[in-house]
Amino acid sequence: RQLNEQSGEGAEHAPVEGDGQPHRPDWTIDQGWANYTAEEHAVWKTLFERQSKLLPGRACDEFVQGMKNLPIGPDQIPDFAALSEVLMKKTGWQVVAVPGLVPDDVFFDHLANRRFPAGHFIRKPHELDYLEEPDVFHDVFGHVPMLMNPVIADYIQAYGHGGLRAKELGVLDKLARVYWYTVEFGLVRQPDGIRIYGAGIASSFTESVFALDDPSPSRIGFELERVMRTHYRIDDFQESYFVIDDLDELLALARIDFAPVYERIKGLPDYQPGTVLPGDRVLSRGTGRYHQAKRAG
Ligand code: HBI
Ligand code: FE
C-alpha cells in the first residue's frame, strides 16, 4: 500500500477516532495505570530497551537530556501523573490520556493549553514495528522527552494555536505538513552530525536507522514554504527528511504569522515526497532506492 497524506486523509481505512471508547467532552480518559497487564508492561520493556540502545549518538542531546530527567524507565509503562509533575515544573506541560486519535480541533485545543494527549494503550507484541494509531510508546517515549525542552514546549503550543487558526482558514493540510516534518520526523544538525528530534523517528526502531544512515532518503535544509507544499507518507519511511540547523529555528517558526505564508503559496503546486528541487539546500541527496524497490513490488 503506497499512500501519501492526500489519499490517506478520510480514506476508508483511516483509524476510527477514539476507538468508540467512552471519554470526557475533551476526549480525555483516566490512564487507568493499575489496569495494565504484565504482558503490556513487557511490550513496553521490549520497545524501551531496544530503542534505548539505538538512540545514543542518534537522538539529539535535548532528547537524551529530557529522557534522563523524566520518570521513564524500562520496567513499566510510565504513569502520566508522575510525568506531568516533572514536566509541569520544567515547562508547564501535562500529559493527558486519550483513547487514541482525537478530532483535530480537540487535539489543537489541548496543545494550545500545554496538555499533550497521549494514547493510553500499548501496541500488541505482533505490531512492534508498525501501527496506525499513536500509542503510549510513541507518545510518551517519542514526544514527552522533547517537551522538557523550553523551545519545543513553546513550539508545540504555538502549533496548537496555529492549528485552530489554519482550520478556520481551510489550510490545515499545509500546517499539518509543518508538524509532520518537524515534530514527528524532524532532524537537527549538531556539531557532531545530524541527529533525530522528531518523535515518529525517535520511537521507531527501523526508522531511527533509516532516517540517519540509509542512502535512500534525501536530507534537505528546512524551509517553511517548501515544507508546506510537500506531501508526506503516512504508512512508510519518509522519502525526504528536513533538517533544521538548531532547535532555536523552531522558536522563530513559532513566532511567524503563517497567514501571509498561506497566501503566498495559495494555488502553487504541491511537491511529491521524494522530489528534490533546484533551490533546495541538499545535505545528502537520496538514491530513492528503498521506495523505488517497493513501487516495483
Ligand atoms: N490525536 N491523539 C492524537 N494524536 C495526534 O498526533 C493527532 C490526533 N488528532 C489529529 C492529529 N494528530 C493530526 O491530524 C493533526 O496534527 C493535524
Ligand atoms: Fe506523534
Q: For position 25, what pLDDT does the model report?
A: 96
User: To test the ligand 1 pocket, which listed residue (19, 104, 168, 182) has its Cβ within 8 A of the most ligand atoms?
Assistant: 104
DSSP 59: B
Phi-psi group of 92: left, alpha or beta (phi > 0 → left; psi -120 to 50 → alpha; rest → beta):
left
The CA-CA-CA angle for residues 146, 242, 128, to 5°, reads: 60
Q: For the chain, 297 residues long, give each residue's pLDDT as a single digit of tens.
A: 223 354 333 333 345 566 678 999 999 999 999 999 999 999 999 999 999 999 999 999 999 999 999 999 999 999 999 999 999 999 999 999 999 999 999 999 999 999 999 999 999 999 998 787 899 999 999 999 999 999 999 999 999 999 999 999 999 999 999 999 999 999 999 999 999 999 999 999 999 999 999 999 999 999 999 999 999 999 899 999 999 999 999 999 998 999 999 999 999 999 999 999 999 999 999 999 999 999 898
Q: Is 167 helix (H, G, I), strand (E, B) or coil?
A: helix
**Nearest alpha carbon, ligand 1 atom 7:** 101
Among protein residues, the one with the nearest Cα to ligand 1's atom 4 is 101
What is the per-residue pLDDT for 200? 97
Report the C-alpha gap between 284 and 272 in whole angstroms.
Answer: 18
Nearest CA to ligand 1 atom 16: 176
| Number of C-beta neighbours around residue 40 at 10 A | 18
C-alpha cell at 116: 499533550
CA distance 172 to 255: 18
Q: What is the residue with the minimal CA distance to atom 14 of ligand 1?
A: 104
C-alpha 278 to ligand 2 mean position (Å): 31
Nearest-ligand number for the alpha carbon of 116: 1
CB atoms inside a 10 Å sphere around CB 144: 24
pLDDT of residue 3: 34
Q: Output the ligand 1 site: residues, CB below 6 A.
A: 98, 101-102, 104, 107, 117, 134, 176, 179
pLDDT at residue number 15:
52
Query: Which ligand 1 atom lies nearest to the CA of residue 163?
Result: 17
Residues in the chain: 297
Residues at Cβ < 5 Å from ligand 2 ion = 134, 199
Nearest CA to ligand 1 atom 3: 101
Return the pLDDT at 131: 80
With a CB cutoff of 8 Å and minimum separation 6, the contacts of 28 are 96, 97, 98, 117
- Among protein residues, the one with the nearest Cα to ligand 1's atom 1 is 101
For residues 18 and 99, the answer to whether their CB atoms sit within 8 Å is: yes
Domains of the chain and any CATH numbers: 5-295 (1.10.800.10)
Cell numbers for 149:
525542552
Let me know: does 77 contact 41? Beta carbons within 8 Å: yes
Give 1-24 pLDDT, tens digit per residue.
Answer: 223 354 333 333 345 566 678 999
3 state SS of 16:
coil
Buried b (16+ CB within 10 A) or exposed e, 103-125: eeebbbbbbbebbbbbbbbbbee
What is the position in ligand 1's atom list of the atom closest to the CA of 119?
A: 2
